A = this chain, B = another copy of it.
Amino acid sequence: MVKISNFCIFRKHSTIEEFSGQTFDIQTKILPGVTHWQSPNYFAYYPSNSSIAGFLGEMLSAGLNIVGFSWITSPAATELEIVVLDWLAKILNLPNEFLSAGQGGGVIQGTASEAVLVVLLAARDKVLIKVGKNALEKLVVYASDQTHSALQKACQIGGIHPENCRLLSTDASADYALSPAVLGEAISNDVANDLIPFMLCATVGTTSSTAVDPLPALGKIAKSHGMWFHIDAAYAGSACICPEYRHYINGVEEADSFNMNAHKWLLTNFDCSALWIKDRSALIQSLSTNPEFLKNKKLPLMLQASQANLVVDFKDWQIPLGRRFRSLKLWMVLRLYGLENLQGYIRNHIKLAKHFEELVSQDPRFEVVTPRKFSLVCFRLLPHNDEACASKLNHDLLDIVNSTGKVYISHTVLSGKYVLRFAVGAPLTEERHVNAAWDVLQEKASTLLGSM
């Protein structure tokens, strides 16, 4: 961790002359200001996994430094991405409609934010083609109030009116999952008010507490209203490579699109967000432009390949034009580690989280706030069930614990309660690191309570 004052060194020395020097200041200026996401003592937010295989993939990608916006600008980049995302789809046991053989397919986005944005645009334009583009202000998107802020941002970007972004309330009774009844009622009200429901975004493993929305029931409602059904499994999707956790995405058969971040918890360096879609033409419809200088007319043997739809141009599946050779690192991870090792990796983290959950349960001053599903434990300090000062107390505990520099955790707010998040997922984390973190938490809790 670092103080803001550390950075005066940057601001002070940032003169035009400085960069003509030849010495690097990684040790003295950069590392002191880095939040160490790869540290085994990092338990904040969600993980951002680096690995030997992922690093090798990044090196190859940086060395080749191609820009794979269309097939011809590096056929291997497009083809490998198609192959590797088919592999991952099969590992996750996704429906065949998400495979490249049919009308669908997978594509690597930078982040889950871009994934939800491009599907929102596809869903938006699909309905606007039917009802006319001036109906934009009538379009309504649905999700739970636990949904990642990326959906709200996507609405802002795509021109969906903020008041038409329904973040339906959830509560502890359903572990913060979206209620089909609540959704159905909201849709009925909107339809009665001449609004147009066009998209439902469900989450498997919310950012706050790993809530899992009931996909089968939600999917049926979405289909019955002709809405686009998107599933955001950015974090928890990785766990679904294990048969015993796969059931969390049951209902994905109903989905139009599914997203998970291999860069979070699957040892693939950031960024690598895997998005699958059943109807790729909907994406292409929204995102393609075809200027002369990019047309595929370079090879006699595949003359105008793109125009003839013989090949895939991923530029039309994403926001930017240019794109890195990101499939290399995912390929490396799958080839070097293999499915069994990756499953073992996930299971170990979940085992460690379960261990932490037990430690918390054994200390009467603490409570586990929501049942742990994956590798995140939501907990808080609650001495004598004293709600009055609980939020401030946990807020202070977070600050004191993180200030030690020995461990880094984050927080959220659930039903108005300030809650601490302990997310296991760094590649180097072992039981001893979890125990050490718990020791710090207990010690600082005692200090705090003693000073009250």
Q: Identify the A interface with B (CB < 8 A).
A: 1-7, 10-11, 14, 16, 18-24, 26, 29-38, 44-45, 48-50, 54-55, 58-60, 62-67, 72-77, 79-80, 82-83, 86-87, 90-91, 110-114, 117, 121, 125, 133-134, 136-137, 148-150, 152-153, 156-159, 161, 207-208, 263, 269-271, 286-287, 289-294, 297-303, 305, 310-311, 319-322, 324, 328, 331-332, 334-336, 338-340, 395, 398-400, 402-403, 408, 410-413, 421
Contacts and interface: CB of A to CB of B under 8 A. Distances in A.
A44 B293 CA distance: 10
Contacts of A11: 79, 83
A136 B138 CA distance: 13
Contacts of A60: 26
A286 B157 CA distance: 8
B62 A54 contact: yes
B1 A335 contact: no
Given A58-B58, A75-B6, A322-B270, A299 B111 contact: no
A74 B37 CA distance: 9
B270 A74 contact: no
Given A1-B299, A24-B335, A37-B66, 15 more contacts: A4-B75, A4-B299, A11-B79, A14-B83, A19-B339, A48-B67, A58-B58, A112-B321, A113-B322, A149-B294, A156-B286, A157-B286, A292-B411, A293-B412, A303-B399
A411 B291 CA distance: 11
Contacts of A75: 2, 4, 6-7, 33-35
B113 A319 contact: yes
Work out how many copies of this chain go into the complex: 2
A30 B149 contact: no
Nearest to A289: B149
B22 A328 contact: no
B1 A298 contact: yes
Contact of A413 (B3, B37, B136, B292): B292
Nearest to A50: B65
A395 B297 contact: yes
Nearest to A136: B159
B149 A22 contact: no
Contact of A21 (B26, B29, B300, B335): B335
Given A10-B79, A111-B321, A297 B37 contact: no
Given A293-B208, A293-B410, A298 B398 contact: yes
A8 to B, nearest CB: 10
Contacts of A294: 149
Given A64-B37, A65-B48, A110 B74 contact: no
Nearest to A62: B58
Contacts of A338: 19-20, 22
Contact of A156 (B5, B83, B287): B287
